[in-house]
Every structure is written in C-alpha cells, then in structure tokens.
Amino acid sequence: MDGVLSVIQNKYHQLHTTKSWDFIGLARNTKRRLKVERDIIVGVLDTGITPEAESFSDHGLGPPPVKWKGSCLKAANFSGCNNKLIGAQYFKLDKRTPDPEDILSPIDVDGHGTHTSSTVAGALVPNATLSGLAKGTARGAVPSARIAMYKVCWQNYGCSDMDILAAFEAAIHDGVDVVSISIGGFSEDYATNSIAVGSFHAVRKGILTVASAGNNGPSLGSVTNHAPWIFTVAASGISRQFQSKAVLGNGQTILGVGVNLFEPKHKLYPLTIGADAAKNEESKEDAGFCIEDSMDANKVKGKVVHCKLLSWGVDSVVKGLGGIGTIIQSEMLLDTAMIFMAPSTMVNSTTGEIINKYIRSTKTPSGIIYKSVETKIPAPFIASFSSRGPNPGAKHLLKPDIAAPGLDILAAYTPLKSLTGLKGDTQHSKFTLMSGTSMACPHVGGAAAYVKSFHPDWSPAAIKSAIMTTATPMSSKVDHEAEFAYGSGQLNPRRATSPGLIYDINEMAYIQFLCHEDYPGASFGPLIGKSINCSKLIPASGEDAINYPTMQLILVSKTGQKNGVFRRTVTNVGPAMAVYNATIRAPKGLEISVAPTSLSFTRVSQKKSFKVVVKTKLTSSAKIVVSGSLIWKSPRHVVRSPIVVYNVQEN
C-alpha cells in the first residue's frame, strides 16, 4: 500500500515531586509566561492516567488551545477529560491478546503514567505526601500547560512497537508541542526502533521527544533511546533519602534504606536468618533469599527475618508466612528507597554480616524496624541503575544527553493499585514515591515545555541545545563514568531560557550523520519515506558530522594518540551585540584548541562557525572516559560543551 513506509517485526518494550523542582532551581515563584504556557501541550506515552487526581485539576484554565485536534475517548472506568487533561486515548492494536490485568481504556491501572504526567505538567497540590513522608506542594514544571495521554503500555504485555508508532502518529496529528516517553527502546538500528522512528517523524513536525535513558546501569553501553534527535535523560539523586532504622537486641543500631510506613507495636521481636527458617535441608539455600515456598511458616511467624535479595517481594513472602518484618541484604539499588508492604529495610553486605554475627552470638536474637524518616544527603549524583554510555548505536555521539532527578520522586498515583502491587498489600495513596529514568524523563520534558513557553518558535534542536549547554556540571569524582553517566550535567531549567548561543540541527543534518555512521541509505524509508544514496549526499564535515552541543572522540589506538577535528556553528539567541570568548579545559593527555577563539555578533539569529581540534596523548593507565570542555563566555552568558574521549580499552 502507498501509505506503508516499511514493515518491521512487532516487539514489546518495558517501562523504564515535592522537592525535585526546587532542587534544580525551578521554584514556585519562578518567572513564567503564563499566557504562552497555557497553550503548551505535552503528549505523554505511558500506561494511562487517573483523571480524578488533584494534579490534573483544571482550576483557572480556559478551553484547550485552538491548535488542539485531539480527542478524549469515552471508555470503561474513565471519567473523562477537562481543560487540563485535554486528550486521552489508548492503543491496543493486537486485539487477539486481551489483557486480563488491564482495562481497554485510557485509565491508569499501573500508576506509572499518572506519576510521569503529574511530574511533567501537574497542577499545584498543597500538602502532598506519602503517609507523612516528602510532604510539600506537588507540581509539574509547567503547571498551566495541558496534558494529552496516549496509553500504549499494558500490564501483562508491556508496550508494543505498533502501539507506540500509532500513538506517535496521533500525537503529531493532535498538535502536541513536546512528547515525553519513559519506555525502553532496545533496537540499536534507528530504522527499526519504534521510538526512534516515531520521534523522527515528530521532529520533522517541530516536536521534541524526550525519552528515558534506561535502567540497566551501571553497565557501560547500556543506554537506550540514543538517536541524535531524541533527548536522552539519565536519572540523578536529590538531597534526600528515606531511611529505616533497625535496632538489634544488643542495642546496636542499623541504618537501612527504604520506605517503611509501619510503626512497631512492641519493643523487640524475635530475629532469625532466612536459611534457619528453611522447610528442610534441600530448601536452605532458597530460604536464605526468602524465596516463596522455601521457608516453614512455624519458623517465621512472629519474627523479623534477615534475607538476602534475589528478587523483589521478599517482604511479601515473609508477611504471608506470618512474619513481622524483613531486613533485606543487597549490594544493588542501595540508593533507591523501595516501598515495602510490611516493616522492612535494606542494608549492604557489611551491615548484613554484622546482623548475622549478632544472631549467631545469642540463643534469643531479637530486633525491631522503625518507620522510615527523611534524611539529607549530598547531591546530585547519578543513580546506580541509570543506564550509561557509550552510545551503542552511534560511535561519534555522546549519550545520555542530560541528567535530571529520578530517585524517590513524589508524584500522583492511581487508586487502582496498591503501593507495591504485591499480593496482600492493602496500602493505597494519592501520591507515591517512584524511582527510575522514567521519573527523570518528565523533568526534562517539563523543562523543554518551560523553555518553549519563552521561545515558541525554537526548533526541537534549539530547545535541546539550550538545556544541554546551560546544565550544571557534575563531578567525575562522584560518578566515575563521567559524561557516560550524566551527559552535559544536571538539568537547570531557569538558565535554559536564556542560553545565549544554540547549536541548531535540521532534518537533512540527521540523515548526513546517519550516512557518516555507516547506516545504509536503503534503510531510511521508515524515517523519511524513501531510501537515500549516501554517496551522492554532500558529506557533513568534521569528526562526528553533526552540529551537536557535545563532542565525542573515539580512541582505539594502542598508542593512545589520535587527532580529531570537530566543526560547529552556533546561532546567537541573546543580545544582538555580543562577544563570546573561548575557554578550554583539558586534562593531562588531552590537547584541545579552538579557532577562532572569539565570536563577535552584531544581530540576533546571526550564525558563527568554529573548529575544535582534539589531540590525544593518553597513557595505558588512562580512564575509559577522558573529559574536557569548551566554554564560550560573554558578560551575560556561559555556553558549555563537554568534550569526551572514549578510550576503548581492548584486551
């Protein structure tokens, strides 16, 4: 059929804030252009939405923008839209596989979509809290903007390629300004990746797509959604953590992480190790991890059980056997406060060994777990789970692009699911804490909408550049993977409204980049509707062949030596008369030069080009990521571009 660009196999993908906005400098009283902000529409592709949530109140909002062409489906369990939630649709094209755990409706059964939507553009809700924790005013980045929900993810099946592509097509038609999608894209081939294809069609219509980097960190090369036209977001931590204190019978205090909403009824409870509660000798190993059907209820009832972590839900297993609570030992995700359905806390292996020694030291070991409290910690830092570069899909392109709060974010939730989703959990709340690059993504989606409200005519690449070049630098001493962990740095929305200079990119520039990356031109059909003969295109110049706000040089040479030339063009979006001088920061083993070293502008929208030369002389002991930067400074603006050498360490 003429309307078919290409045919690809349908696959299924997985889903990858009271304080977070204040932490990155976007306070409630921040300067806004409310008249324009009310015309901004953010399209969210997710699990659906809870229209009754206070975060989606339309108080004070007029009718939807004139440009809106979308619809609100009438469906089961869905009360409808208003002047805040102006659109809601669901996409389940594979009708042969009904989902018994979900509802054919835009309603959110999971909670994920409600959470992300309220983070990106939720209305102000005073006194939002999870059982007294994280209390404050919940809000999105652009509280006056409109939300359109495109439900593409289902409880039993995840998020299918065909539903994602159909939702992108609908969002483009409907007139959204920004797309926020917190879903993993696993194909490295941009021509067969549904999110890459959908977002390319969006960018051709002037719509920026913001996507999560993935939750497969800290492994190198695990970043997803890494096409150059996608804004790829890593997850960072803010300056709070939720800790649950445990006290042993000998008086020793143990600090763990997690959200435990239960006050103890007694002073102490009997304490045991999971392996000691095994049904028999054969199940002892499984019992050490408190795996279901491995423990004897008579040995667990009325006790606190110390378990090693193999899979989530051990607190549910212990509670189901009549246990009082669980101390979970793990070396993973100790920066993430998981919500528990029974008194629980999570500790590292060193602390776990202290608990084991105590239990072995007495005939009557005992302990108690107290309700969680909020504590202050140093921040920002990158979450352990946040996926890292290098980019597996394009060797010359640094990914992720930016970092934003994604740890323990409080936002709206669904009443249709318990806080943990585990069997037997009766905890429900209007707001909950979630962690993931899924939570970081809507922070940047909201920031992009905020910037667009100041600059409605800017291209997606211009908005992306503004946010990247004004990001707050982060430290490789804290995050050893450096830019492979945090990209340009921590999101700083207020500064992004006035970047001074921007790096713009048009549609053909992305095609030239793909040719430079050796993508076959015959595969470009899904992106632009036809194949391309790359040999007949005028090749883009420079090491990476793209006008990106960051620069990455890949070094494979065993000598540690290589030269790379990067060519860039910046556009003046600040004062008409402006002079920018270059500052280079280069570590030992890296020589960076720029020509010219000064850029003089006489009018707005004027363009100036420059050349950056990177020379490496790295020793065998050099890090995998060697970081430098180019900073253009004027009296009013600082425009920073990370320069990264990826030192491929071959065996």
State the catalytic residues: 46, 112, 438
Adjacent-strand bridge partners of 151? 46, 90
In a 3-state reduction of DSSP, which class is residue 382?
strand
In a 3-state reduction of DSSP, which class is residue 359?
helix
Please choose, from the candidates 105, 108, 90, 127, the residue with its C-alpha nearest in 3D space to the C-alpha of residue 50.
108
Please choose, from the candidates 153, 178, 194, the residue with its C-alpha nearest in 3D space to the C-alpha of residue 455.
178
| Cβ–Cβ under 8 Å, residues 416 and 424 | no
In a 3-state reduction of DSSP, which class is residue 106?
coil
| Cβ–Cβ under 8 Å, residues 20 and 238 | yes
C-alpha pair distances (Å), 65 with each of 43, 86, 88, 120, 175: 14, 9, 16, 18, 9
Strands (E), 108-261: 125-130, 133-138, 146-151, 153-154, 158-160, 178-181, 208-212, 230-237, 240-248, 253-257
Q: Which residues of 405-432 are buried (b: 16+ CB within 10 A; e: fewer)?
A: bbbbbbbbbbebbbbbebeebebebbbb
Q: Which residues of 547-574 are buried (b: 16+ CB within 10 A; e: fewer)?
A: bbbbbbbbbeeeebebebebbbebbbbb
DSSP 370: P
DSSP per position, 575-601: -SSEEEEEEEE--TTEEEEEESSEEEE
HSE at residue 52, side-chain half, CA atoms within 13 A, is 9
| Cβ–Cβ under 8 Å, residues 23 and 170 | no
C-alpha pair distances (Å), 373 with each of 242, 247, 263, 348, 465: 6, 15, 11, 19, 39
CA dihedral 131→134→136→141, nearest 10 degrees, is -120
**How far apart (Å, rounded) are the C-alpha atoms in residues 144 and 44?**
16
What the block records as the tokens of 151 is 């439900």
HSE at residue 407, side-chain half, CA atoms within 13 A, is 27
Dihedral sign from CA coordinates of 56, 59, 65, 70: positive
Please choose, from the candidates 58, 253, 71, the residue with its C-alpha nearest in 3D space to the C-alpha of residue 148.
71
**How far apart (Å, rounded) are the C-alpha atoms in residues 126 and 135?**
9
What the block records as the tokens of 420 is 């943990």
Three-class SS string for 42-103? Answer: EEEEECCECCCCHHHCCCCCCCCCCCCCCCECCCCCCCCCCCCEEEEEECCCCCCCCCCCCC
Adjacent-strand bridge partners of 546? none
